[in-house]
Copies of this chain bind each other. A is one copy, B any other.
C-alpha cells in the first residue's frame, strides 16, 4: 500500500504534462477495469430466468421476448404495444387450499363480529364465527359471496387499503406458515422483471378484487395500482363532515373472470396484450383473446404439477379449475409450464 501510494505521489510531483499523462493512464485503467467488471457481471447475469430449468418453457419465453424486441425484425413490436397480462391467483401466487382473499374475508368478518351482534344467529356468519367451516362451505358460492361482500363494504377505499396491508403483515398461510406475500412464485417474479426490462408494461388481470390486489401488487410484484385489473364492487362518492370520500358498497360491479377478462382488458387497458399468463379455465378467454391477435403472440399456462413443493391439481379441483384450458393449451401449442420440472424453486 505504502509503496504504491508513494509512486503515485512521486508522479504527481512531475511536470504538468507528465501529470496529465499519468491522469490519462489512470483514467484509462479505471475505464478498462470498469468495462471488464461490466462484462463479467453481464456474463453472470446473462440468464434472466435463473429459477427456471433449461427446457422448452424457458426457451419459449426467451425466444418470444427476443423476437418482439429485436429492432428491424419482422416480429418487432414497438414498446407502447408491449402489453403483457398476468392472472394472479395460481399464476403469480399460491391459491390453495383456498383463495387468499377468501381467507382475508373470513378473518375480516371475525374482526368485525363485535360490531355485528346479529351475525351470531345469521348464516353463513354464525357458522363462520363458530368455526364450523364445513357448514360455511356447504352454503356454496352464495354463502361465500355474502361473507366477501360483508368483508369488503362499509369502509372507505383509503381505509380498506390499510386493513388489507395490516392483515397481510400478520396473516400466515395455514400449511406453510409463510406470509401470503412470500408465497409468490419466484420464477414468475423473474418473468415480470424480464418482461419489464424489455420494455413491456406488465398488468395483473385477475378475478381477485382490484382493491385487495392493489394493496400489495406494487411492493410484491412491482406492478403499480393503475396496472391492476380485477373484480370490483360498487363505490359511492359522498361527503363525510365536509370531506369527500369513496365508500365501498356491498354490491358487485364487475367480475373479471372468464369472458370478463377480455372485457376487463378492453375496458382498463384498451389494447390487446401480446402476451398472457394464466393457470385456470378462468383465464382461457384472456389467452384466446391475446393469441388471436395479429403478429407474434405468447400464451402460457402454469400447470400445478408439484404436490411435494406446492400443490398438484387441475381438472378435478374447484380452486384453480383447469380442464378446458388444459385441452386448448395442448391443441393450440401454448406453453404449458410443468411446475415440478420447469421450476428450480417455487417461492423466493
Chain A residues within 8 Å of B, Cβ to Cβ? 17, 20-21, 23-25, 27, 80, 83, 157, 201, 203, 210-211, 214, 218, 224-228, 232, 235-238, 243-244, 246, 259-260, 262-263, 266-271, 285, 288-289, 292
Known: A243-B292, A268-B268. 12 other contacts (CB 8 A): A20-B21, A20-B24, A201-B226, A203-B226, A210-B270, A226-B227, A226-B268, A226-B269, A235-B266, A236-B259, A237-B285, A237-B289
B232 x A292 contact (CB < 8 A): no
Give bound CA distance, A244 to B24, whole Å. Answer: 63
B262 x A237 contact (CB < 8 A): yes
B235 x A263 contact (CB < 8 A): yes
Shortest beta-carbon distance from A296 to chain B in Å: 18
- CB-defined A-B contacts under 8 Å, sample of 17: A17-B17, A20-B24, A24-B27, A157-B266, A210-B267, A210-B270, A224-B271, A226-B226, A226-B269, A236-B263, A237-B259, A237-B260, A237-B285, A244-B262, A246-B262, A246-B263, A246-B289
Chain B minimum-CB-distance residue to A288: B244
Shortest beta-carbon distance from A215 to chain B in Å: 10
With contacts A262-B246, A285-B244 known, is A269 near B225, CB below 8 A? Answer: yes
Give bound CA distance, A232 to B269, whole Å. Answer: 13
Shortest beta-carbon distance from A278 to chain B in Å: 15
Shortest beta-carbon distance from A267 to chain B in Å: 6
Chain B minimum-CB-distance residue to A201: B226
Chain B minimum-CB-distance residue to A248: B266
A225 x B267 contact (CB < 8 A): no
Shortest beta-carbon distance from A185 to chain B in Å: 23
Chain B minimum-CB-distance residue to A218: B80
B21 x A232 contact (CB < 8 A): no
Give bound CA distance, A238 to B269, whole Å. Answer: 19
Cβ-neighbour of A244 out of B203, B226, B260, B292 (below 8 A): B292
Give bound CA distance, A225 to B269, whole Å. Answer: 6
A271 x B235 contact (CB < 8 A): no
B271 x A225 contact (CB < 8 A): yes
A246 x B266 contact (CB < 8 A): yes
Chain B minimum-CB-distance residue to A228: B270
Chain B minimum-CB-distance residue to A18: B17
User: What are the residues of chain B within 8 A of A214 when measuring CB–CB?
Assistant: 270
Chain B minimum-CB-distance residue to A242: B292
User: What are the residues of chain B within 8 A of A266 when measuring CB–CB?
Assistant: 157, 235, 246
User: What are the residues of chain B within 8 A of A292 when measuring CB–CB?
Assistant: 243-244
Give bound CA distance, A228 to B17, whole Å. Answer: 60
User: What are the residues of chain B within 8 A of A157 when measuring CB–CB?
Assistant: 266
User: What are the residues of chain B within 8 A of A285 when measuring CB–CB?
Assistant: 237, 244
User: What are the residues of chain B within 8 A of A225 when measuring CB–CB?
Assistant: 269-271
B211 x A270 contact (CB < 8 A): yes
User: What are the residues of chain B within 8 A of A21 when measuring CB–CB?
Assistant: 17, 20-21, 24
Chain B minimum-CB-distance residue to A260: B237
User: What are the residues of chain B within 8 A of A25 when measuring CB–CB?
Assistant: 20
B263 x A226 contact (CB < 8 A): no
Chain B minimum-CB-distance residue to A269: B226
Shortest beta-carbon distance from A272 to chain B in Å: 8
B24 x A270 contact (CB < 8 A): no
Shortest beta-carbon distance from A32 to chain B in Å: 14
